[in-house]
Structure 1
Amino acid sequence: MADTSPAPRTLAVVAAEFIGTFWLVLGGCGTAVFAAVQVAQADTLDIPVGVGYLGVAIAFGLTVVTGAYAVAHISGAHFNPAVSVGAAVAGRLPWAQVPVYLISQVIGGLVAGAVIFVVASGKDGFSATGNMAANGYGAHSPDGYSLVSALIIEIILSAIFIWVILGVTDRRAPAGFAPLGIGLTLTLIHLISIPITNTSVNPARSTAVAFFNGDGAPGQLWMFWVAPLVGAAIAGVLYGPLFGEKSRTPVPA
């Protein structure tokens, strides 16, 4: 018989959330750092060959799809403090478990950020300052969007992201397709907001690279915790009253 005692289950959740968040940051931020902007030379002409915004958006979506299929049956595949808080607000996750999720996610993201930093530093001329796929607003926004613009878009997109997650994991939803729905949503979210904030909707992803990036990112990190958590709380509060709460897996007592 499988061991269902609390300690082994907690260890499995920690491992799943750590590895899943590590994969999300490595796959998404790593693509942004290593592959978003590349230039090839042909007859002295510089030709851009990087994946650009579209490639980065797809990379983030793919990390969620693959990670969720791998460990959703273990931890729910949150990989994001906003998802865990939204699930708790909606009654899908006991609040007592939320710290385990958040700590695992933040540490997993930071380890991935360190790996990106070490690998990127192996290239001659690389400077981490301003080049670690950090989130930002104002002067640190990719296209110069203000704090107000960043707050609005991050709250709205975080709420929509959690709303989709709650919807595709509702027991009335088609089984087996949740990771695809979540991954495609995250891809679309990035297509909308990379120019505005470099897209967070995930405090662990933002924390993972902010301190390696420097250049104002640590000082702006507060916004990329507040906005996703506010959006998550909105979605968590409204999902049940609007759509009727039907979790596929009963919340443990």
Structure 2
Amino acid sequence: MKTRIVASEFLGTLLLVFFAVGSAVLAVEYLGTVGIALTFGFTLLALTYAFGPISGCHVNPAVTLGMYMAGRIGIRAAVERWVAQILGAIVGAALLFLLAKQIPGLETSGEFGSNGYGDRSTVGINIGGAFLTEVMLTFLLVHVVLAVTRKVAVTGFGGLAIGLAFAAIHLVGIPLTGTSVNPARSLGPALFAGSAALSQLWLFLVAPLVGGVIAAYVHRLTHPYPNVPPEETEDAI
């Protein structure tokens, strides 16, 4: 079962980066901000129903951290997911980079779906604003995930709520920071975008994790009696 969970998190994160980030890299002129936001939302919606019954479809270290802080999973399960998500994001970005190289005239350095602030932000948001943006957007995502998944598996309309929230988050966040809310999603593209993206990467690793932790604590106040599957808490500490 743990192999299936790790494989699901790896593949889910890979597909999220390849298709969702790929919409920003390959088709930004055709889709625009709304189209890219919807692509992120639709992709996560589909992945949630595909992998939710197996791993919960976190595909995001901030979501996994929120699950751990909320007492939904143990530390070993969290670490396994984090490793799978990071590797999946890197492989997804590598495949996207390989595809982008096959398109004549497409610039793969500089942006490449990475996140940024200052002169790397569409609206020029400063570092403080970018940090607050990522904390608040991630808070919304993680809180919604925790609220609609009283079990690890996503059933019913929970996936729809997650997908819609993810799309809304991107509608707000794309002009500000490019929208991270996911350290793995930020890491993969930044490795191929170049030094400018890497120099700002720390913010998009730290801020989403902070947002995830805050969401977990707030969730404990608003939903104090989660339905936790026993097998998911055996190694909890």
- Length-normalised TM-score, structure 2: 0.93
Deviates more, 1:92-101 or 1:123-132: 123-132
1:110 counterpart = 2:90: yes
1:31 counterpart = 2:27: no
Ranked by relative contact order (alpha carbons within 8 Å, sequence separation 6 or more), the top structure is 2
1:211 counterpart = 2:191: yes
Deviates more, 1:185-194 or 1:135-144: 135-144
1:127 counterpart = 2:107: yes
Bigger share in helix:
2
Tell me which stretches of 4 or more aligned residues in structure 1 moved more than 6 Å: none
Deviation digits for residues 145-185 of structure 1 (CA, Å, limit 9, x no counterpart): 111110011001111111100111126xx951111110110
CA RMSD of aligned residues (A): 1.4
How many pairs were matched up? 231
Alignment of 1:83-162 (within 5 A): 83-162=63-142
The correspondence for 1:10, drawn from 2, 8, 19, is 2
Alpha-carbon distance in 1 for matches of 2:65, 2:12: 17
- 1:76 match: 56
Alpha-carbon distance in 2 for matches of 1:202, 1:142: 19
- The residue matched to 1:207 in structure 2 has which SS? helix
- 1:190 match: 170
Alpha-carbon distance in 1 for matches of 2:87, 2:223: 34
- 1:231 match: 211
Residue 52 of structure 1, CA deviation: 0.4
Q: Larger radius of gyration, structure 1 or 2?
A: 1
Alpha-carbon distance in 1 for matches of 2:105, 2:72: 47
Question: 2:68·2:78 contact (CA, 8 Å) conserved in 1?
Answer: yes
Question: 1:143·1:195 contact (CA, 8 Å) conserved in 2?
Answer: yes
Alpha-carbon distance in 1 for matches of 2:6, 2:57: 11
Residue 124 of structure 1, CA deviation: 1.8
Report percent identity of matched pairs: 39
Do the aligned partners of residues 214 and 198 (structure 1) sit closer, same or farther apart at CA in structure 2, a change above 3 Å counting? same
- For structure 1, which runs of at least 5 residues remain unmatched after alignment? 1-8, 38-49
Residue 214 of structure 1, CA deviation: 1.1
- The residue matched to 2:28 in structure 1 has which SS? coil
The correspondence for 1:176, drawn from 135, 151, 156, is 156
Alpha-carbon distance in 2 for matches of 1:116, 1:145: 27
Letter in 2 for 1:239: H
Question: 1:170·1:245 contact (CA, 8 Å) conserved in 2?
Answer: no
- The residue matched to 1:216 in structure 2 has which SS? helix
Residue 23 of structure 1, CA deviation: 1.0
1:252 counterpart = 2:224: no
Question: 2:17·2:89 contact (CA, 8 Å) conserved in 1?
Answer: yes
Alpha-carbon distance in 1 for matches of 2:215, 2:95: 33
- 1:53 match: 33
Alpha-carbon distance in 2 for matches of 1:107, 1:184: 26
Letter in 1 for 2:126: S
- For structure 2, which runs of at least 5 residues remain unmatched after alignment? none
Deviates more, 1:119-128 or 1:63-72: 119-128
Deviation digits for residues 111-138 of structure 1 (CA, Å, limit 9, x no counterpart): 1101111111112222211231100011
Alpha-carbon distance in 2 for matches of 1:245, 1:185: 23
Alpha-carbon distance in 2 for matches of 1:58, 1:248: 31
